[in-house]
Amino acid sequence: MPIFSNARELVVAGSSTQPQIKGKRVRSQAVVVMLLLLMLLTGAIAAVIHLQSSRVRISVSHLATAQPILLNPRIESARAAQPRDADLITIPAGTVQIGDNSGPSGEYPAFQYASRSFLMDRTPVTVAQFAAFVRDTGYRTDAERYGYGGILDEKQGAWVAVNGANWRRPVGQRGPVARGNHPVTQVSWFDANAFCNAYGMRLPSEFEWERAARMGQTPDGHVFKSGDPISLSHRYLLNAWEGTFPLVNSAADGYRTTSPVGAFGTAPSGLTDMAGNVWEWTSSWYLPYVAAEREPVDGQGERVSRGGSFLCSAQYCQGYRASARNHATPDTSLENIGFRCVEDLGHMTTLAGRMAQSPTQLSKVNSQSQASGGISQ
């Protein structure tokens, strides 16, 4: 059955089934139901591909009990001893629109959000920064512990679980080593949360993320909405999918997968990569905007990611729009999801990094970032 991209990244046309991975192949809904019932009875933890609300994602589902997911003790206790080599941008207080009344159902109704000032990482967390965290704390990611990560197989036009895919080698052990100045990927929400907490920081809420994005997603301050072109005068504005999704990626923007952070310039806010390259985890649960509560009653659910990725197609996904919402279980690790950290003004610790002060400083840092690459294994 052909797979197409829609408001999210993958859609199985004419189907609402929930495929199951077994031997890295998608099975029928009947198999999924039988296996889920078996796992509920035995308390097993199984690798499952969920297909819900128009996209596929790979996760490890904790189905032992109806209790909230418990964090791994190592995740909760990871604490960095050395400060990060990172720059933080001040996002001023302001009132902005959240959502889009003309977008997919998960993006409306739009409403006004009054944001407080906060500090935000200038770029998504890079492979080099994550490598330093691992050296400092001995942390192991979910993908490393489970032994696999999720990859889009362009030949099949489907997601597959690839053994050995993790933040060091995002497409598997036969693939290239992740470059130090690219965004780290194959990190679950738990991994991202652990990283930020280790430096006295936190993940942004999805409203904070959108507030920052609406300050401009490109160097000229453009904020993407549905139908906007992703190139201008033969120059691409972001790292996205060019070609026929999900079978042919022409890489016309210069990149088949991730790109170096800042490769498409710096927005007026001082931030980079606020459209495309990688989705970014947020602290928010995926719930309708009209929901009275902002977290699931049973403590289980999916977390929101924002920003779109190199797998987003202008014909189908358009996940790089400022209002676009993606969502996945918090143990999901994929080749196109990363994150960045934030902190409240006045609460920044010495471990968090440096506050960037001016466009001149940002320009210098950007130039240095472009010159770096590779990681220390």
State pLDDT tens for residues 240-259.
Answer: 999 999 888 999 999 999 99
Q: With 90 as the cut, is the pLDDT of residue 130 above it?
A: yes
The residue type at 375: I
Question: What's residue 121's pLDDT?
Answer: 98
Separation of alpha carbons 9 and 99, rounded Å: 18
> 77 falls in which pLDDT band (50, 70, 90)?
low
Residue-by-residue DSSP string for 111-166: EEEEEPPEEEESSPPBHHHHHHHHHHH----HHHHHTEEEEEETTTTEEEEEET-S
Question: What was the pLDDT predicted at 117?
Answer: 97
Asked whether 21 and 66 are in contact (CB, 8 A), the reply is no
Whether the per-residue pLDDT at 5 is higher than 60: the answer is no
Across 48-59, average pLDDT:
34
Arithmetic mean of pLDDT, 302-331: 96
What confidence tens digit (pLDDT) does each residue in 323-374 have?
A: 999 999 999 999 999 999 999 999 999 999 999 964 544 454 454 444 333 3
In this prediction, residue 294 has a pLDDT band, given cuts at 50, 70 and 90, of confident
- Residue 316: per-residue pLDDT: 84
> Given pLDDT bands bounded at 50, 70 and 90, which one contains residue 76?
low
Tell me how far apart the alpha carbons of residues 79 and 197 are, in angstroms, rounded to a whole number: 7
Rounded to the nearest integer, the mean pLDDT of the chain is: 81
pLDDT in tens, 162-184: 999 999 999 999 999 999 999 99
Q: Considering the domain 83-371, what is its CATH architecture?
A: Alpha-Beta Complex (3.90)
Answer yes or no: are the C-beta atoms of 239 and 263 closer than 8 Å. Answer: yes
- Contact present, 179 and 122 (Cβ < 8 Å): no
Query: Mind listing the pLDDT tens digit for each residue in 88-123?
Result: 999 999 999 999 999 999 999 999 999 999 999 999
- pLDDT of 159 strictly over 80: yes
First-to-last CA distance in the chain? 40
What pLDDT was estimated at residue 49? Answer: 32
Is the pLDDT score of 211 beyond 90? yes
Closest CA to 170 of 1, 311, 23: 311
With a pLDDT cut of 70, the percent of the chain lying above it is: 74
- Which of 33-42, 90-99, 280-289 is predicted least confidently? 33-42
Confidence of residue 157 (pLDDT cuts 50, 70, 90): confident
**Is a pLDDT exceeding 80 seen at residue 31?**
no
Asked which of 30-39, 177-186, 304-313, 315-324 is least confident by mean pLDDT, the reply is 30-39
| The overall pTM is greater than 0.85 | no
Higher pLDDT, 19 or 236: 236
Average pLDDT for 276-296: 94
